[in-house]
Amino acid sequence: MNKKSFLLPLILACTTVFAEPQREIAITIDDLPFVGSANNDPKKLQREHDRFMEILQALVDRKVTATGFIIANSIEKGQWELLEAFRNAGMELGNHTYSHKSLNSLSAEKYIADVEHADQLLDKIMTTPKYFRYPYLAESKGVKREEVHTFLAQHGYTIAPVTIDSKDFKFNSQLFAIPYRLRPQNLNQLKKRYLAYMWNQTLRAEANAKQRGDDPIKQVLLIHANLLNSHFLGDVIDMYQANGYKIVSLDEILATKKSEPAVIDVSPVLHQILKAQ
């Protein structure tokens, strides 16, 4: 057998190789329409409107999706339109309860009634599949936890997990503590601290995923609809994409799919080897 006839089947057998799977992340945004209350004050409502639209625009400009979770009793005058704009832009909307109470502080019966009240109000705006996010990520334990899980399952809800908690409320509080006129000159330093903290949280989540044997790594990021992210969500997206993450929907993260082998074109290499023989 000459060298060419020996090398050819060997090289062709190596044309399909398993490439390292790309890391994926879904963005989830709690406390829609917006953190806090404007108490129907027109000026405050306008500020919330503008900040909400800045968050949405950051997603639209970068052509990425997100899932938002609505506190039903926090929807104020004119804010149904914001939720509709979010949905119409291709984003998902889920249930974050009616009153944003922790399950740890309520009985299962009262908590379920709160969720059901929200479900009735939000039915016309929520997307499918139906997602639920626990306020404060509090699922409680024991019988109480199981009763709520059973209710959610019976009503077609999927519980939205979290692998990366940005703790953005801490940085949002720091932003509000800066006098309004001094904010522009302080935004860059705050952004650096916020992104550095979030990336550190991401590295921890990656280590946990590798320990579990997750392949590929799939993350779910928790942030909030707040002033901080009206400034920095675009930077958050850019950071993840620059570090090799593909931003996908929550549906894609939760779907169980087998990794496919990546096919690499080795014809130029094959040509050079055969030419050298």
The tens digit of pLDDT for each residue in 42-60 reads: 999 999 999 999 999 999 9
pLDDT at 167 over 60: yes
The structure tokens 């309004």 sit at 180
Q: How far apart are CA 197 and CA 209, in angstroms?
A: 18
Helix pair 42-61, 227-242: axis angle to 10 deg: 10
Closest C-alpha among 244, 251, 237 to residue 217? 244
The DSSP line for 244-275 is TEEE--HHHHHS--PPPPEE---HHHHHHHHH
Cβ–Cβ under 8 Å, residues 74 and 31: yes
Strand partners, 93: 68
| Prediction pTM value | 0.86
Strand partners, 157: 130
pLDDT at 265 over 60: no
Mean of the per-residue pLDDT values of the chain: 89
Helix, strand, coil % (nearest 5) of the chain?
55, 15, 30
pLDDT at 273 over 70: no
* Residue 195 backbone phi and psi in degrees, to 5: -65, -40
Q: How far apart are CA 27 and CA 94, in angstroms?
A: 13
Q: How far apart are CA 122 and CA 119, in angstroms?
A: 5
- Domains defined for the chain, CATH in brackets: 21-276 (3.20.20.370)
Alpha carbon 184 to chain centroid distance? 27
* Band of pLDDT at residue 215, cut at 50, 70 and 90: confident
The tens digit of pLDDT for each residue in 69-91 reads: 999 999 999 999 999 999 999 99
Q: How many CB atoms lie within 10 A of CB 2?
A: 7
